[in-house]
């Protein structure tokens, strides 16, 4: 096993907020390296430079965790795209790439597992399939060298507990986060805060929520979780303007568009300033691990890092609008005329 980082996730959470970043699959899909629909991270093998670059962009933006791109890199999913034979290589390479970039900074490497779409609480045999899936993926990840594991987008507490058991068996800290596509409860009927409490009681080092909800509709649930859980809490929302009537990105609707999720979400995108406000709000609530999920880009992460008072490598190129010809203090008469046009309302 490769040497682990000197300061692990638990120590870092004890000494302050940890900033993470995810959304690799969405971002690489937008860039043309992953197919929407199956969302299998084939780019790990087919375009490793694209994966490496995105890790690097998140690292420079202030992410302290490089999450190996093994989301959906499990047997069931690879079968749907006819790449079951690439299972081991995809998992190993994903960790190698994450590790390589993590070492360019002071980032941790997280192994990653997610919901399998196989688990069925009414069919006990699916527990074994899920356990085998996680054991297989994380065995390779440990071999390649990870510092902890993120088990994410869990729809069922039952499936999350299997992940936790496998991670615990490997002797690694686990961060376990739930998907929140239902109003109040996991698909197996536990209130989200209660599910988090159980996960923490069963040994998860960090518990919380990721994906599905944007800042506005995730924060109220986070407050409940914070009130219920003693240990570290994680929050990685999607940067979309979800609202009480459409609390998840899947439930957003737009006139004339049959389905907004996942290909027509752009009009709902949060600005970097909105994500910066979320980072502060989550920190003030007492959330210790703050990040983004699907839809997040490096510009969001940098703004969040800076909102938390940090200067990160990409801060070198943070906005200096006072240097913009139109917005600087000593705007020339000619530019002032330009600005007048920019500010004018167009008559309808």
**CB nearer to Zn ion: pick between 114 and 146:** 114
Stretch that binds Zn ion, among 110-118, 203-211, 258-266, 270-278 (CB under 5 A): 203-211
Q: Which is nearer to Zn ion, 293 or 314 (CB)?
A: 293
- Select 117 or 315, whichever has its Cβ closest to Zn ion: 117
From residue 32 to residue 71, the character string flagging contacts with Zn ion as x (rule: CB under 5 A) and all else as - is ----------------------------------------
Closest approach of Zn ion to the CB of residue 285, in Å? 20
Minimum distance from residue 310 beta carbon to Zn ion (Å): 23
Tell which positions 102-161 bind Zn ion, by CB under 5 A. none
Shortest spacing between CB 103 and Zn ion, in angstroms: 26
Closer residue to Zn ion in complex, CB, 102/294: 294
Q: Which is nearer to Zn ion, 142 or 209 (CB)?
A: 209
137 vs 248 by CB, closer to Zn ion: 248
Count CB atoms within 10 A of the CB of residue 317. 9
Nearer to Zn ion, 41 or 145 (CB): 41
User: Least distance to Zn ion from the beta carbon of 178, Å?
Assistant: 12
List binders of Zn ion among 243-302 (CB under 5 A).
293-294
Closest separation between CB of residue 7 and Zn ion, Å?
27
CB 132 within 8 A of CB 87: no
Least distance to Zn ion from the beta carbon of 18, Å? 18
Contact flags string 209-248 toward Zn ion, x per CB under 5 A: --x-------------------------------------
**Site for Zn ion (CB under 5 A): how many residues?**
3
Task: Name residue 246's beta-bridge partners.
Answer: 243
Q: How far is the CB of 78 from Zn ion (least distance, A)?
A: 19
Q: How far apart are CA 70 and CA 175, in angstroms?
A: 15
The window from 36-44, 110-118, 204-212, 277-285 that contacts Zn ion (CB under 5 A) reads 204-212
List of residues contacting Zn ion (CB under 5 A): 211, 293-294
């Amino acid at each position: 096993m490769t040497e682990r980082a000197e300061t692990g996730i638990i120590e870092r959470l004890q000494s302050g907020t940890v900033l993470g970043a995810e959304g690799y699959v969405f971002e690489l899909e937008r860039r043309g390296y992953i197919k929407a629909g199956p969302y299998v991270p084939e780019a790990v093998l087919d375009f490793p430079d694209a994966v490496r670059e995105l890790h690097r962009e998140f690292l420079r933006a202030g992410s302290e965790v490089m999450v190996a791109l093994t989301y959906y890199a499990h047997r069931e999913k690879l079968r749907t795209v006819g790449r079951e034979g690439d299972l081991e290589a995809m998992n190993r390479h994903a960790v190698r790439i994450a590790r390589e970039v993590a070492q360019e900074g002071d980032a941790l490497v997280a192994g990653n597992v997610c919901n399998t779409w196989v688990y069925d609480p009414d069919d006990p045999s699916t527990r074994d399939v899920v356990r085998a899936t996680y054991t297989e993926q994380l065995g390779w990840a440990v071999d390649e060298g990870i510092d902890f594991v993120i088990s994410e987008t869990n729809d069922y507490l039952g499936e999350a507990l299997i992940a936790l058991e496998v991670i615990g068996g490997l002797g690694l800290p686990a961060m376990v986060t739930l998907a929140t596509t239902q109003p109040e409860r996991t698909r197996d009927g536990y209130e989200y805060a209660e599910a988090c409490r159980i996960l923490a009681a069963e040994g998860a080092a960090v518990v919380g929520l990721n994906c599905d909800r944007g800042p506005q509709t995730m924060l109220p649930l986070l407050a409940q979780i914070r009130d219920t859980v003693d240990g570290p809490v994680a929050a990685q929302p999607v940067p979309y303007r979800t609202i009480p009537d459409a609390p998840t990105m899947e439930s957003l609707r737009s006139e004339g568009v049959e389905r907004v999720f996942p290909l027509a979400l752009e009009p709902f995108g949060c600005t970097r300033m909105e994500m910066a406000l979320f980072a502060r709000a989550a920190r003030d609530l007492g959330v210790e691990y703050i990040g983004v999920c699907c839809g997040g880009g490096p510009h969001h992460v940098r703004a969040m890092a800076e909102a938390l008072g940090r200067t990160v490598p990409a801060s070198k190129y943070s906005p200096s609008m006072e240097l913009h010809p139109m917005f600087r203090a000593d705007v020339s008469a000619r530019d002032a005329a330009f600005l007048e046009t920019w500010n004018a309302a167009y008559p309808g």
